[in-house]
A and B are shown apart, each in its own frame.
Chain A
Amino acid sequence: MSDLWRRCLERLESELSAEDVHTWLMPLQARDDEAGLQLFAPNPYTLDTVRERYLARIEAVLALLAGHALPVRLEVGSSAPRATPPGGKAAPAARAGVPGGAVAEPAAVPAAFPHNLDPHYTFETFVEGKSNQLGKAAAMQVAMNPGRAYNPLLLYGGTGLGKTHLMHAAGNLMRERNPHCKVMYLRSEQFVGAMIEALRTKNMDQFKQRFRSVDALLIDDIQFFAGKDTTQEEFFHTFNALFESKQQIILTCDRYPKEVDKLEPRLKSRLGWGLSVAIEPPDFETRAAILLSKAHDKGVAVGENVAMLLAKRIRSNVRDLEGALNTLAARANFYGKPITIDFAEETLRDLLATHAQAVTVPNIQKIVAEYFNIRLQDLLSKRRVRSLARPRQIAMALSKELTEHSLPEIGDAFGGRDHTTVLHACRTIKKLCETDTRMRQDWEQLIRVLTG
């Protein structure tokens, strides 16, 4: 760092609030030469603020320190151009000025085809369970036979359940089997950003060409296309072009696309042409297996008992499991202690409390009543009509599943019912979940709402 700038910054630190210094001045990098001082801002947002609020003062302090007036040039960039980080694109300067902060990489045609698949996401590192085995099988088939097996393949389900992992795994396998295969992965925001950029720079032809020249196009989280009409229009045409020439399309969505509001009907209908597979939240055994697998990858020693503790308490999604594991590993590492059950209980008290907090019997009753659109007092009443009895049984089974209460305690909480009634409810619902798709969806949706 320029010594002059360091001294200037020190002086400014004593005049301005610490927040302002760290927000606006610390990001600046300096280079001084005979022509004066050059300051590089990481982005136009910072540049504008510095110019407006601080430049005059910077010049004054520099003049004071240097003993004479010193021209200051301010621009977006970096004092020392760095090698692009792996998987990264676009230097800050190149990315500057893209509306919506979207990455401009697709617009900036490089010579070689830029592969941006995450190499860590493979089928080998994917932990399979009942909840995701269909999705995995479909993704593998598509990778073995791109453009022919299922087109498009649409993976849908809640956040943090492994959709993106499967999508990358399919792309990676395609490339492994055929190194010339051009696979392009994009988050939906990148597609939107690239399109806006192409419209702005009047490069639509290049944009179209770029997306249509791939062997497989992977777009993540297409629910964010909702309400963006121009994007949908363009995506619709890209889709048709790829589909007709049997190029593979893989998409993910946070729900069944027909349920996404503000998505064009003709697009929805095309999304249904191939195969749509739901990725469900992992069950207990899969959660424990995922935890052990991640621990192994990170080189963290975690016993099965600890994995089971976390799997029992954290049901929401895989990311929360990962967060818990990271948190445990950081603490164990710091204190130099092994991760025992007691250590896990102790260190994750805050984290686990967070996940356990919302789940109480009254809360379950309230949510279930709302879900089935019945009154809470009816749910708790003695009436036995099917429209009340079934939700009541679900609420009891959820109470057994999600809380630590005993069967008699749960019976009491449901208007003083016998514990055998609760047990019967649990068995009935379990059986129904295995045979009745609708029932299983309700059950999983309620678990998601209660633990998410």
Chain B
Amino acid sequence: MTSPAPTLALSQAGRRLAGRAVVRDLDLELARGEVLGLLGVNGAGKTTTLRMIAGVLAPTSGSVRLGGEDLYEHPELARRRIGYLPETPPLHVELDAEEYLRFCARLHGVARGAVAAAVARAIERCELGEMRRRPLGTLSKGYRQRVGVAQAIVHEPELIVLDEPASGLDPVQALRLRELVRGLGREHAVVLSTHVLPDVSACCDRVAILHRGELRHAGEVHASATTSLRVGVARALRADDWRALPMVVAAEPLDLGHWRVELAPGSAIDAFAAAVVAHGFGLTALGADALPLESTFLAIAASDAPAAAA
């Protein structure tokens, strides 16, 4: 028996714009219930990739498949099955949220009788209740972004594509948006682009890092089997001193009083802390180290030579 086709599958997808290859040979898959974070510095090709996924921009090579069907051979698939929030929410500012969402629902093929319920559901999920009758042009940036998300989900698509959804939001708004995306990821397949690493670690299951139009890394966000810690000690130590602790697999100095220490899979952090104290290292601080993702991202962003996708 063959397994069902993934919600989204990019196969060797590439796009040239103005004679330049903006995106090359992308291979990606995404299933319902997953959130994929597309990371990359500005100009890495994130927006072009998302536009190909959203059905706006046909790939010049390769294919984009939705549930096994080619999106550009069946463009009508996008109407019902994809929700897209571009970098700037496409709001008709002279209308209020309800009028606008009613149009979006109908545009995406929601039956006339089901529009009211679909709009009410999107308004509730995006917490737009108080603002539903206000002209969109008078809303704050955070609320505009929420209306943008609401138009992307009003027709309950299988695939939701969000381009920099947290861009320009204050920390509280960004947090609420992450919660919303996390919630959407339980029922839909979600692709979001960002260059904010905490966004990816907070709401994504998987990450793909693009650089200069190429996929340089793809994997689980929380895939690291080891635990990486940042440890402050009062004593001057050598790497060998750390290896004397049974749960430590690697240690490197960050500065005179701080080390990055990696523990073996399954190691308990309290046991590690007890061992550090027992060895008299003079523990002054203990915290989670930066995500392994960050070092991967920074290394890719700093590199210019093409590398094989992980």
A interacts with B: no
Could you tell me which A residues sit within 8 Å of B by CB distance? Answer: none
Could you tell me which B residues sit within 8 Å of A by CB distance? Answer: none
